[in-house]
Structure 1
Amino acid sequence: MDIEQYAALWDNRPIRLLDVRRYEYESNQVPSSQICPSNTFLYVTRGRGIVWLNQEMHRVDTCYAIHGSQGAHLSVIADEAIELYWVVYMFLGPLPVEAADLNAHFGMQLSYPSPLLEHVVQLQKQWENIDYLERIQSTAQFYQWLYELLKQIRQHRALALSPDRTMQVIGYLAEHYKEQITVEHVAVIFHCSPRYLNRLFQNRLHTSPGRVLSQIRMAQASRLLRQTEATLQNIAEQVGYANGFTLSRYFKKNFGISPMSYREQLKKHGPAFEIGAGDLGSAVKVWLGTDSEGTANRANSKSIETRTRTIATPMGSIQVPDRPSRVVVDWDIGHVLAVGVTPLGAPHSLIGSKEWFAPYMNAEVNNIGNHNQISLEKVLELEPDLIITWNPCAYASYARIAPTVVFQSEAYQTVAEEIQAMGHILNRKKEAANWLDEFARRISLVRHHVSTYVSSERTFTIADPNWSEHVDLVGNSKGRGGRAAYELLGLKPAEKVRREIMEQRLEYAQIERSAISRFLGDYLLMLNSSQGSPSAQSMLKSELDKKPSCEVIYLEWNKYFLSDPLSSLLQAEEIAQRITAVGPIPMR
């Protein structure tokens, strides 16, 4: 959703409130479907769980806002007891076609709950009052709540698109210095720990967030002393201090002179005695617009940072950087490498075999944990400008760190569709087209190479015996070598594999070890893991000895559990090399 366009559509748009209610959903409550009677804002003030709006899933927490249109089906599933406000309204008069986006569905986790909560609680109180004046006031209160909501959404989007978290925090401090904020509060806003925030500022600016906040307040205090006749108490309240005494103490510590002495000296000596912005750190001067070079740099960098695109994803329309460069992936590393992007971070379980992907990596890839247990703290520290995940359930957590795209490769039928989709996400369409041309050339070569050694009538079985007392036989699967062998190389499956697994459209079939000889073809591609059970593999070997005519080719399991097009290409080339090294099997 384009928040600027959405907010502009609200300008001078009259509404009538229809209902304002507070609901509670217990964690053991059976989900019940409700229907939005008209356009509805939903605001979660407490709890955690899942809200379904039609087919859209929102993983909600405190300070989560959702908008739905008339007739939308709503279902709430509480992990922890949820308190939820409904604000139901209608537009006065029909909406013009160009304003149709006012009926859009969206949801977002926001960062500053206090003003939103204050407004919505007051809104409900006024709505429940039968006095008509209070009812009139409730409409005004609705617009105040809406203003705060749209402002926070704008801030959230701006923060998500900015790659420099230090500047994000400084920007937040520069906007909220009048409020009683602490480092702990700011850390919550930016989804990190106070310790990490302090370390980030020390590494980048050789100072602390608290010191930067103090500098901003001092600059504003000196400006008010120069430009107004306000009392010290009044100035203190305007710059975030409780009283004039506290302001005076910090001012003298920072500038070596008391505020009132500074004002007296200004009257005597004029502008020559001005202090304030010139005594601040360069990073803060850039944000306050007091450094000419810094201001220009900020303007230039901002124009680059805000260059974005909106793309369609399984989670709805997402705004992403025009050409992401700091990408984190939790699974689909091969798709990203194929279009010429080396991810900033990926699970160690995907980058463990560096030699496999080495020709495609032009930089070091940072470890963000295991693919099924990602460290959000590590992702946060990398400051990505885009996160690509396979997991819709992880979307809400990732989206608080950076713009996030859910990429589900199983939604695509062919290699070309998968790579083109990733090329679109990363704005590398030309690179995607080039890689697909190279892919086609290499597959053509390797298939021809195999055909010179192996008759097209020879049959193959792929087995993974590593993880249980049974054996997994690979069928219509992209993973574990299935796509590489059967789709890319065009190898013929063993008769029983074809009939009982492939034709049944099964990805895998689990069989007893004693039954494997009945599924064997001329070649067995055996996935071998160092973490598998040696005794189980030994038992399987005794079964294989029953069919000595079957040539067994051992493949390293760690290279074959990925199923992306790049991994599948590399797997196909290795399988071809191993088959041709064995040579043709004599005709029986």
Structure 2
Amino acid sequence: MKKLILSISILLVLILGACNSEATDTKESETKDEPTTITYQSEEGAVEVPADPKRVVVLSTYAGNVASLDVNLVGVDSWSKSNPGYDSYLADVEEVSEENLEKIIELDPDLIIGASTTQNLEKIKEIAPTVTFTYGKVDYLTQHLEIGKLLNKEKEAQAWIDDFKERSSVAGEEIKAVIGEDATVSVIENFDKQLYVFGDNWGRGTEVIYQAMGLNMPEKVKEMALDAGYYALSLEVLPEYAGDYMIFSKVADQDNSFQETDVYKNIPAVQNGKLFEANAEEFYFNDPISLDYQLEFFKESFLNSK
């Protein structure tokens, strides 16, 4: 009997050992099968990038796209760093620039993202795998999807896109029911003593207003700003570009004294309480973080306008 028990015990030990060995082998096999790099087809051709980037530097525009996909940032451009909408994402992230290569090197990035116009690109490419995008080459949703592909998070990017399209479409219909199907909306900004109006793809909430929600652009704005993205104009002609509703992307520390002029005060949207002021620093970009904020801003502003 003792011999039988002993034999069974030895058999169990051997079986358990084999199972553990198989599990270990399987785990090691799975680990070995996981790629450490992927190939991203950039505008400049194929670039080998980390499959799971841990230390990303963004030199222009796209910090919000990266942050929204829960990828760790170690350095971003000054415009992104000054956006209060990014505060919770960039609290411990360093400010960098394309001129200060030493700072970028110090951050030891494993991936760098920039614009096609970024300076010192050849030197920057020596620091880490570098991918650039041409602003406006693709629409804002496709841009986010491309960044998702670059970061090996295409599914997550597509999921947000699908959800945003649904939410913004519903919001557009709700807003049209309040302001009227034919109402027009213009977006203005004052920067460095110059007034601008914007088309449908230059941040400032224009993608949400015109593309996602389908609100109407004044004909004069369409004529002058749609193709270029923006148009500089004088205060005297601003009324010609004013829609039934106006969004003022306001830079607080700029000279906004034009708001005290009769020309401005007599614009019907201003007189009728159909002007909505937004913080320009939160309106510059068109990434998921910014777009979600802008969508909520517009819903609250338009739906409470009557």
What is the TM-score normalised by the length of structure 2?
0.78
Q: 1:543 aligns with which of 258, 264, 268?
A: 264
What's the CA shift for 1:562?
Answer: 1.5
Deviations 1:316-350 (A, max 9, x none): 32221122121111121122123332422212421
User: What is the CA distance between 1:453 and its match in structure 2?
Assistant: 2.2
Structure 2 unmatched runs, 5+ = 1-31
Task: Please state how far the C-alpha of 1:425 moved relative to its aligned partner.
Answer: 0.7
Aligned residue for 1:350? Answer: 80
Give the secondary structure class of the aligned counterpart of 1:555.
strand
Match of 1:367 among 85, 89, 94: 94
Say which of 196, 212, 231 aligns to 1:509. 231
Q: SS in structure 2 opposite 1:465? A: strand
Deviation at 1:558, TM superposition (A): 0.8
Match of 2:277 in 1: 554
- How far apart are 1:312 and its partner, in Å? 2.3
Paired position in structure 2 for 1:525: 247
Alpha-carbon spacing, 1:501–1:420, altered in 2? closer, same or farther (3 Å)? closer
Q: Check the 8 A contact 1:522/1:549 in 2, yes or no.
A: no
Q: CA distance change for structure 1 residues 509 and 353 in 2, over 3 Å: closer, same or farther?
A: closer
Query: Aligned AA for 1:421?
Result: E
Distance change in 2, residues 1:378/1:368 (3 Å) = farther
1:339 aligns with 2:69: yes
Shift of the alpha carbon at 1:388?
A: 0.7
> Which residue type is aligned with residue 402 of structure 1?
A
Aligned partner (choices 18, 21, 37) of residue 308 of structure 1: 37
Q: How does 1:30-41 map to 2 (within 5 A)?
A: none
Query: Cα gap change, 1:441/1:305 in structure 2, threshold over 3 Å: closer, same or farther?
Result: closer
The question of 1:459 aligning with 2:189 is answered no
Bigger-Rg structure (1/2): 1
Give the direction of change, closer, same or farther, for the CA distance of 1:432–1:306 in structure 2 (3 Å limit): closer
Partner Cα distance (2:242, 2:77) in 1:
35
Q: 2: CA distance between counterparts of 1:315 and 1:394? A: 16
Note if contact 1:527-1:556 (Cα within 8 Å) is conserved in structure 2: yes
Q: Separation in 2 of the partners of 1:431 and 1:382?
A: 27
Unaligned runs of 5+ in 1: 1-302, 584-588
CA positional deviation for 1:452: 3.7
Letter in 2 for 1:530: A
Distance between the aligned counterparts of 2:70 and 2:233, measured in 1?
41
Q: CA 1:318/1:495 → structure 2, altered by over 3 Å: closer, same or farther?
A: closer
Cα distance in 1 for residues equivalent to 2:38 and 2:54: 14
Alignment counterpart, residue 474 of structure 1, candidates 183, 189, 198: 198
Q: Distance in 2 between matches of 1:556 and 1:364?
A: 19
Q: Classify 1:499/1:410 alpha carbon distance in 2 versus 1 (closer, same or farther; 3 Å).
A: closer
- Deviation, structure 1 residue 426: 0.8
Letter in 1 for 2:153: R
1:400 to 126, 139, 143: 126
The alignment-based identity, stated in percent, is 24
Alignment RMSD (CA, Å)? 2.7
Partner of 2:8: none
Secondary structure of the 1:561 match is: coil
| Aligned pairs for 1:289-308 within 5 A | 307-308=36-37
Q: Is the 8 A contact 1:330 1:374 kept in 2?
A: no
Aligned to 1:493: 217
Q: How many residues align?
A: 271
Q: 1:326 to 1:500 in 2, by over 3 A?
A: closer
Partner of residue 317 from structure 1, selected from 46, 53, 56: 46
Higher RCO structure, 1 or 2 (CA under 8 Å, sep 6+): 2
Deviations 1:13-69 (A, max 9, x none): xxxxxxxxxxxxxxxxxxxxxxxxxxxxxxxxxxxxxxxxxxxxxxxxxxxxxxxxx
Q: What secondary structure, in the 3-state scheme, does the structure 2 residue paired with 1:492 have?
A: coil
Instruction: Give yes or no for contact 1:522–1:550 (8 Å, CA) kept in 2.
Output: no
Distance 1:571 1:394, change over 3 A: farther
